[in-house]
Amino acid sequence: MNLLLTSLFLLFFFFFFFFFQSYSVLSLRMLEADPCGPTSHRDPRTLRSDQITILINGFSESRIPLLQSITAAYSASPIVSAVLVLWGNPSTSAQTLEELAHNLTLSSFGSAAISLFRQPSSSLNARFLPRPTVETRAVLICDDDVEIDSKSFAFAFRIWGANPDRLIGFFARSHDFDLSRKEWIYTVHPDRYSIVLTKSMILKTEYLFQYSCGGGAAMHRMREIVDRMRNCEDILMNFVVGDEVNAGPILVGAERARDWGDARNDKDDIDDGRRGLMGEVAQVGLSSRRGEHRKRRGECIREFHRVMGKMPLRYSYGKVVNSVGEQGLCQKGRKLVFCDQ
């Protein structure tokens, strides 16, 4: 009898020991069941605005070293509250992810925590899912192969602070209306832009909820278009925010912006970064793949426009740059002027 009790006790002990151990080793967190439920949407007044949360997309295992160095740099920044790595590659093994989660924890020692989340699906919409762990009013959405120097990042965050309802980005594109074909297209203009890319974009945390959970049936259909096209989630976010604020995004110039993009990530036709808003046009000698890409992005714009029944994208002019005096300067035409002029 005594022996039976003892062995039962041992059995339970081992069961709980292994259960909890595997539980804690598995520090990869899954998203809550309902990303649009009441717990996922926090009152913005309870969120802090002196710091920002980084939501970085991870996909390629070969780029893990780069991902680690980028996340470590963000986590060391005093304006960063937390770094969330959103792993979107469903074929990565659980073991690799556990290892990565462990490595990331080590590299965030002493600064903002870095945590890893496996995305619930491979849908591109998932990068905008609201996350209850976000404690800041702003998030930076970025790719795992884009590096922005820390001064320019801090400057962009200050620009957001002065314009909290706008989208702030480092890479810009345009929509336009092709008069001969009578249709909306995706393009680059030398002097204006209406879309900032998710390569690196700062936005209000509330917009994640608006994108993922708001907008009723029309928004649902537009998210389906993103899934069908496997592209254009960034364009749709620009539609959502443009519709909300009736203003275009704000392009910030980075001192150093490096885009390591590989073929999978080559979502866009031109690599801009530190080159001027104007300087990039020369590169638009389109290869057929890039032309194809641009066509698909144009198709997205036309589909979103059709579903929404209007064109909410708005043009912005000039690029905000961090001048010596730390005052925002805007490039207008060929001149630099103070942005509030």
Ligand X SMILES: *[C@@H]1O[C@H](CO)[C@@H](O)[C@H](O)[C@H]1NC(C)=O
Using CB under 6 A as the binding rule, whether residue 99 contacts ligand X is answered as yes
Least distance CB 30 / ligand X (angstroms): 19
User: At a CB cut-off of 8 Å and minimum separation 6, what does 295 contact?
Assistant: none
Q: Which of residues 35-94 bind ligand X (CB under 6 A)?
A: 64
Assess whether 234 carries a catalytic annotation.
Answer: yes
Q: Which of 21, 96, 323, 327 binds ligand X (CB under 6 A)?
A: 96
Written as one letter, the residue type at 154 is: A
Say which residues have a Cβ less than 8 Å from residue 276's Cβ, sequence separation at least 6. Answer: 253, 319, 331
Q: Tell the smallest beta-carbon distance from residue 256 to ligand X (Å).
A: 25
Distance between CA atoms of 145 and 142, rounded to whole angstroms? 8
Q: Measure the CA–CA gap between 61 and 42, rounded to whole angstroms.
A: 33
With respect to ligand X, which residue has the nearer C-beta, 51 or 68? 68
Stretch of residues binding ligand X (CB under 6 A), selected from 6-14, 95-103, 215-223, 276-284: 95-103
Considering 234, 259, 269, 272, which one is annotated as catalytic?
A: 234
Tell me the window of 13-21, 37-45, 96-104, 169-177 that interacts with ligand X (CB under 6 A).
96-104
Q: Is 258 helix (H, G, I), strand (E, B) or coil?
A: strand
Q: For residues 63 and 204, which CB has a smaller minimum distance to ligand X in the complex?
A: 63
In the bound complex, what is the minimum distance in angstroms from residue 251's beta carbon to ligand X? Answer: 34
- Whether 100 and 17 have beta carbons less than 8 Å apart is answered as no
Which CB atom, from 58 or from 312, has the smaller least distance to ligand X?
Answer: 58
Going by C-beta distance under 8 Å and a sequence separation of 6 or more, which residues neighbour residue 164?
Answer: 49, 137, 138, 204
Min. distance of Cβ 92 from ligand X in angstroms?
9
* Sequence-ordered strand ranges (E) for the chain: 48-58, 80-87, 113-118, 136-142, 146-148, 168-169, 172-178, 183-187, 192-193, 195-196, 200-204, 250-252, 257-259, 316-317, 319-322, 328-332, 335-338
Binding mask 199-238 for ligand X (x = CB under 6 A): ----------------------------------------
Q: Residue 96 or residue 121: which is nearer to ligand X going by CB? A: 96
How far is it, in rounded angstroms, from Cα 231 to Cα 237? 12
List contacts with ligand X (CB under 6 A): 64, 96, 99-100, 103
- Catalytic amino acids? 234
